[in-house]
Amino acid sequence: MAFSDRSGHTAGDAGSVESWLISAGRDRRPGSPLNVQPCPASNFVLGDHRAYARDDGTPGWEALEEITGGLEGGASVAFASGMAGIAAIFDQLPTGSVVALPDDCYQGVAALAQAGQGRGRWTVCRVGVADTAGWIEMCAVADLIWIESPSNPLLAVADLVSICAAPRKPGAILGVDNTFATPLNQRPLSLGADMSVQSVTKFIGGHSDLLGGVVTVRDPNHFAALRHARELLGATPGTLEMFLAVRGARTLAVRLERAQNNAMTLAQRLARHSGVTLTRYPGLPSHPTHEIARSQLKGFGTIISFDVRGNAADAEAVCAGLQLIQHATSLGAVESTLERRAGIPGQEHLPPTLLRLSVGIEAVEDLWADLDRALRDGTAV
């Protein structure tokens, strides 16, 4: 399959991913709008390639798919949410399949997998994110090998190079949730994965103002199957959401660079704070999978999870004491957010004092002052 923009340019022609983010997805014909316009249309005048939006898409969908396809090195299919895209992948599995799922992953995916197992659709086997031998073993027997790396929220990094190189059961799908890394830090398809998923809600959109998802694949048959699933399930993205996603994607590189720099500074300081008992960030040498992260990722990301001293009430007090950082869920946006993950349904197995911090692009000293004050007040250190 060829992955290019409407003028025939490819991601490689742009010279860098930063330039691709700015240039891709635009209509370069003379007289065309410089930006991709919202297209609030459900149907189109017959006689061309587009008739009905649910089947044929809109220019907004196609622009986002062009951008992410070039970044990931494949062909993208946009969905109404990240979970809609993941559900479409799971929908490809025949009854009686085996699903290999990380022991640490997004609770929505875990709930989807468990629900399907409860209906007899498949059997779920949980594997430690860093258990490379366990993943290689599952590659020989599983119909879907689902990897989340770095994982949510414990930030374990899987050895994707070794896992993707392992022999797989014929017809098996190896999918990677690449949301935390983004295509700028990690390209699973180039390592040998079949599918890479982005929750566009997070880093691609980057402004906490949309829901969206995208699945990028290498195999034309997978591409056709996902397009068909989107049509039949009606998991189509909205017009405004795609406009916002394309606009947000233009600044992904500069946002990610700033937020990653902030995250490294904050992680180093949190690791030394008297109110914190454990800091998890792949960029810290103390992180259990730091060496894999260093060899496999171009950047360590913007997410930090850390355990505060005390109990769940102390952790909640830290969240309540924030003034600049938002006490909110989700991640990957311009603003920093913090939440206690064990308080989320389906996440009760996590350490009760674990806080997940999504670092934004605010001034790092302001972020640190807010964190330090909330930690000192909330944990009485």
Average pLDDT over every residue of 162-188 = 98
- Give residues with Cβ within 8 angstroms of 236, minimum separation 6: 53, 54, 61, 79, 80, 230
Tell me, yes or no, whether 42 lies in a domain: yes
**Cα 251 to Cα 253: distance, rounded to the nearest angstrom:** 6
Q: Are strands 122-127 and 337-340 parallel, antiparallel or unpaired?
A: unpaired
Residues 303, 206 within the same domain: no
> Is residue 6 scored above 50 in pLDDT?
no
Task: Dump pLDDT digits (tens) for 262-274.
Answer: 999 999 999 999 9
pLDDT over 70, % of the chain = 96
Tell me, yes or no, whether 7 lies in a domain: no
| Residue 179 buriedness (CB in 10 A; 0-12 / 13-18 / 19+) | buried
Task: Dump pLDDT digits (tens) for 182-210.
Answer: 999 999 999 999 999 999 999 999 999 99
**Cα 14 to Cα 20: distance, rounded to the nearest angstrom:** 5
Residues 92, 170 within the same domain: yes
User: Among 111, 112, 155, 199, which Cα is nearest to 354's?
Assistant: 155
Task: Dump pLDDT digits (tens) for 62-71.
Answer: 999 999 999 9
pLDDT at 3: 44
Residues 119, 216 within the same domain: yes
pLDDT at 5: 46
Q: How many helices (H) and strands (E) does the chain have?
A: 15, 12
Residues 187, 50 within the same domain: yes
Residues 108, 214 within the same domain: yes
Sign of CA dihedral 126, 128, 129, 133: negative
**Radius of gyration of the chain, Cα coordinates, nearest whole angstrom:** 21
Residues 111, 231 within the same domain: yes
Task: Dump pLDDT digits (tens) for 295-344.
Answer: 999 999 999 999 999 999 999 999 999 999 999 999 999 999 999 999 88
Q: How many domains does the chain have?
A: 2
Residues 325, 222 within the same domain: no
Q: Residue 52 has which token pair?
A: 């009905």
> Is residue 18 scored above 80 in pLDDT?
yes
> Is residue 8 scored above 50 in pLDDT?
no
Residues 284, 224 within the same domain: no
> Is residue 162 scored above 60 in pLDDT?
yes
Task: Dump pLDDT digits (tens) for 351-381.
Answer: 999 999 999 999 999 999 999 999 998 775 5
Residues 211, 285 within the same domain: no
Residues 242, 137 within the same domain: yes
pLDDT at 13: 54
Q: Give the CATH number, domain containing residue 106.
A: 3.40.640.10
Tell me, yes or no, whether 115 lies in a domain: yes
Residues 239, 257 within the same domain: no
Mean pLDDT of all residues in the chain?
A: 94
**Cα 233 to Cα 125: distance, rounded to the nearest angstrom:** 26
- State which of 249, 271, 290 marks the end of a domain: 249
pLDDT at 17: 92
pLDDT at 345: 84
Instruction: Quickly state the pLDDT bin for 12 (edges 50, 70, 90).
Output: low
Residues 209, 197 within the same domain: yes
pLDDT at 380: 56
DSSP 140-182: TT-SEEEEESS-TTT-----HHHHHHS---TT-EEEEE-TTTH
> Is residue 1 scored above 80 in pLDDT?
no
Domain that residue 234 falls in: 17-249
Task: Dump pLDDT digits (tens) for 29-87.
Answer: 999 999 999 999 999 999 999 999 999 999 999 999 999 999 999 999 999 999 999 99
Give start and end residues of each alpha helix (H) in the chain. Answer: 17-23, 53-56, 59-72, 82-90, 107-118, 132-139, 160-165, 182-185, 188-191, 220-233, 239-249, 252-270, 290-296, 312-320, 364-379
Tell me, yes or no, whether 6 lies in a domain: no
